[in-house]
């Protein structure tokens, strides 16, 4: 029987595939060091779990409005106001089944076939696929080290034409581990003035920033920026709730309503008792747990970057946000290591896993074949062990 063209063309998520492969090998007894994970290795704070259990026991087990319970939409609107300086009515907020579905649904809501979507590299693996699933066309803008892998206003202006419908911004960035400064974002906002380009601002890593890095929500930059921005966030990273599948989107009412109509047919509401627990998650006690996690990530990120830079032919900027290092390893391309020809990041990742039992994600599915992604959402001990192996493997 036939499989749709759309489904035939969509590749599996590379980040999920690497993580699954590492877990499979571990289950077979192989001592794999996994740098693939895009999930914090901390448990969900206890009080959030308690809140879920409580609401489950209280019988919060039925359907809710598709866009989410009004109490949670209000709590999110309050969070966006108090923490981000964004003024959204609860009706301008929709709760989605994870930030991944926020991305998919936002694109379904505002893109038409033939529209172009600007994706600066490196981009999260899911963006180009969700663009294509909306019938739109990814317009990849190649960035490089010289700008810290950030799109410049000139590059942006150059990429915009009459078909451009959206720019996807992700800061702090997965996989790049960099964060746009407020000034850089202001320049991006300015370059968009006078256009009809939506901005999908993926702010899911907002709390994980390091050193003197500042985070700012794109929609706060100006009224113009606010009117074109869909602000995307979620509970997965900040509260270590990846398995709960809770994300949200806030933006202009027409777009949020359109997402709501789509969601009423696609998934209906996010898990009901999870929504009640999410209200608690947004309460004050989370700050301490978030800070503990952030401090630990900062320590690991610094160590990982330092170690990577000490390896011959590996170049890595220290992460200012998220929990990834994205080193350039391309000086090793063209070599043959342990019998494997390393042509690019795919072969690099495959050979490293086969020969040294270290799992990382190749840069190619993020649009940067010169790089590979290592997550530091694992213990310092694992990081040390994995980097020892990487160093030894590359010195062969
Ligand atoms: N955006 C980015 C940049 C991500 O890395 C992720 C990864 N999980 C998501 C969105 C979506 O996360 P979730 O679906 O778990 O909310
Ligand atoms: N977003 C995370 C990552 O990039 C989790 C995996 C996924 O959902 O793609 O690794």
Residues 297 and 255 in one domain: no
Query: What is the domain extent for residue 297?
Result: 5-43+287-394
Of 258, 285, 312, which one is at a domain's C-terminal end? Answer: 285
Give the model confidence (pLDDT) of 33-76 as tens digits.
Answer: 999 988 999 999 999 999 999 999 999 999 999 999 999 999 99
- For the chain, give the mean pLDDT: 97
Percentage of the chain beyond pLDDT 70 is 100
Residues 145 and 248 in one domain: yes
Q: Which among 141, 134, 94 is positioned nearest to 114, based on CA atoms?
A: 134
- For residue 119, the cross-strand partners are 140
- pLDDT band for position 94 (50/70/90)? very high
Which pLDDT belongs to residue 69?
98
pLDDT tens track for 100-139: 999 999 999 999 999 999 999 999 999 999 999 999 999 9
The per-type count for the chain, helices as H runs and strands as E runs, is 14, 14
The count of residues in the chain is 396
Q: Which residue, of 236, 252, 285, is where some domain finishes? A: 285
pLDDT at res. 37: 85
Relative to the CA of 16, which ligand 2 atom is closest?
A: 6
What ligand has the least distance to the C-alpha of 377?
Answer: 2
Q: Is 234 in the pocket of ligand 1 (CB under 6 A)?
A: yes
CATH of residue 213's domain is: 3.40.640.10
CA distance to 24, 37, 38, 106, 359, per residue, from 17 (Å): 10, 10, 11, 24, 11
- CA–CA distance, 319 with 298 (Å, rounded to integer): 8
- Which two structure tokens, joined as six digits, stand for 203? 């702010």
Tell me what pLDDT residue 286 has.
Answer: 83
When divided into structural domains, the chain yields a total of 2
Quick one: pLDDT at residue 285?
79
Contact 201, 229 (CB under 8 A): yes
Together in a domain, 51 and 124 = yes
Identify the domain boundary among 285, 315, 336: 285
Is residue 177 within 6 Å of ligand 1 at its C-beta? Answer: no
Q: Which atom of ligand 1 is nearest to the CA of 173?
A: 3
pLDDT higher than threshold 90 for residue 284: no
pLDDT, tens digit (0-9, with 9 covering 90-100), for 182-228: 999 999 999 999 999 999 999 999 999 999 999 999 999 999 999 99
**CATH code, domain with 316:** 3.90.1150.10
Question: Crossing angle, helix 380-394 and helix 286-309, to 10 degrees?
Answer: 20
- pTM here is 0.97
CB proximity list for 40: less than 8 A, separation 6 or greater: 237, 240, 242, 293, 297, 323, 377
Q: Is the CB of 242 under 6 A from ligand 1?
A: yes
Distance 204 CA to ligand 1 centre (A): 7
C-alpha 53 – ligand 2 centre gap (Å)? 27
| Mean pLDDT, rounded, for 164-182 | 98
């Amino acid at each position: 029987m036939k499989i749709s063209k759309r489904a035939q063309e969509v590749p599996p998520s590379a980040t999920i595939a690497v993580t699954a492969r590492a877990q499979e090998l571990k289950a077979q007894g192989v001592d794999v060091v996994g740098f693939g994970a895009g999930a914090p290795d901390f448990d969900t704070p206890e009080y959030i779990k308690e809140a879920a259990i409580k609401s489950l026991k209280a019988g919060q087990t039925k359907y809710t409005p598709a866009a989410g319970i009004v109490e949670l939409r209000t709590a999110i609107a309050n969070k966006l106001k108090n923490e981000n300086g964004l003024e959204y009515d609860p009706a301008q907020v929709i709760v989605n089944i994870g930030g991944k579905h926020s991305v998919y649904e936002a694109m379904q809501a505002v893109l038409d076939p033939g529209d172009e979507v600007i994706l600066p590299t490196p981009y999260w693996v899911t963006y180009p696929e969700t663009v294509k699933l909306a019938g739109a066309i990814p317009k990849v803008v190649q960035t490089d080290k010289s700008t810290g892998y950030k799109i410049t206003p000139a590059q942006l202006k150059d990429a915009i034409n009459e078909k451009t419908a959206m720019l996807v911004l992700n800061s702090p960035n997965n996989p790049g581990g960099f964060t746009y400064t407020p000034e850089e974002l202001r320049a991006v906002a300015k370059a968009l003035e006078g256009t009809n380009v939506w901005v999908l601002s993926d702010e899911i890593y907002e709390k994980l920033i390091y050193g003197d890095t500042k985070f700012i929500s794109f929609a706060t930059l100006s009224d113009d920026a606010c009117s074109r921005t869909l602000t995307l966030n979620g509970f997965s990273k900040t509260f270590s709730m990846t398995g709960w599948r809770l994300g949200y989107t806030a933006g202009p009412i027409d777009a949020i309503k359109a997402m709501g109509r789509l969601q009423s047919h696609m998934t209906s509401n996010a898990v009901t008792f999870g929504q009640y627990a999410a209200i608690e998650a947004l309460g004050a006690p989370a700050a301490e747990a978030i800070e503990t996690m952030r401090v630990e990530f900062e320590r690991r990120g610094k160590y990982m970057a330092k170690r990577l830079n000490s390896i011959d032919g590996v170049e890595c900027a220290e992460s200012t946000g998220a929990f990834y290092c994205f080193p350039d390893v391309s000086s090793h391309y063209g070599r043959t290591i342990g019998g494997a020809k390393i042509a690019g990041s795919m072969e690099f990742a495959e050979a490293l896993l086969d020969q040294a039992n270290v799992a990382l994600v190749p840069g190619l599915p993020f649009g940067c074949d010169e790089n590979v992604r290592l997550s530091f959402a694992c213990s310092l001990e694992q990081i040390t062990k994995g980097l020892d192996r990487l160093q030894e493997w590359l010195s062969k």
